[in-house]
């Protein structure tokens, strides 16, 4: 991946993340659709849509379960989670085989970055979006994201798990 493509990949993710968190579901859906379409058109490898869909499904299960357990308190209606929160999962997946690909060669670093980065992302997003978090949620998200990133760094048939999903 060229440095320009890496920069575009990260910038598109950040644009999507900020729009979802600050703009809510409608603006987030529009920008996420554009980011995902652009990603699939210019950066994605054949079959990478499966990775995006897989992360979307995992996000619905993980954040939906944590919401039902009382981890998130949203100002408006959200069942199981608001669309803007759910869209962050396929947005993250756009980074997995591109700007984050180097990280999967270092399993313990991937675990540490996932745990700290995941929890910090939820903390920052909640502060910006006015979402209340249960005291136990950030440690739970740290565990979830540490495991997800460790899973991406795991090997199966000579490839990382996330490479095998493309």
DSSP string across 8-25? HHHHHHHHHHHHHHHHHH
- Among the residue ranges 30-39, 71-80, 123-132, the one predicted with the least confidence is 71-80
Q: Which two tokens stand for residue 51?
A: 């990775």
pLDDT for 78 equals 80
Per-residue pLDDT tens over the stretch 143-154? 999 999 999 998
Nearest to 163 by CA among 70, 84, 47: 47
The whole-angstrom separation of Cα 39 and Cα 93 is 10
Work out how many domains the chain is built from and give that number. 1
State percent of the chain over pLDDT 70: 93
**Segments forming the whole domain that contains residue 117:** 3-164
Contact between residue 83 and residue 25 where contact means Cβ atoms under 8 Å apart: yes
Alpha helices in the chain (DSSP H): 3-38, 49-68, 83-96, 107-129, 137-153, 161-164
Mean pLDDT of 75-93: 93
């Amino acid at each position: 991946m060229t440095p320009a493509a890496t920069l575009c990949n990260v910038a598109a993710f950040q644009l999507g993340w900020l729009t979802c968190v600050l703009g809510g579901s409608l603006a987030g859906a529009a920008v996420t659709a554009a980011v995902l379409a652009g990603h699939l058109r210019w950066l994605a490898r054949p079959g990478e849509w499966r990775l995006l869909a897989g992360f979307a499904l995992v996000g619905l299960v993980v954040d939906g379960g944590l919401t039902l357990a009382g981890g998130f308190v949203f100002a408006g209606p959200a069942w199981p989670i608001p669309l803007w929160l759910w869209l962050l999962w396929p947005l993250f997946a756009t980074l997995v085989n591109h700007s984050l690909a180097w990280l999967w060669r270092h399993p313990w670093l991937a675990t540490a970055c996932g745990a700290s980065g995941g929890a910090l992302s939820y903390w920052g997003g909640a502060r910006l979006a006015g979402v209340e978090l249960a005291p136990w949620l950030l440690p739970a998200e740290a565990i979830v994201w540490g495991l997800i990133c460790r899973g991406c760094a795991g090997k199966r048939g000579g490839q990382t798990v996330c490479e095998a999903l493309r």
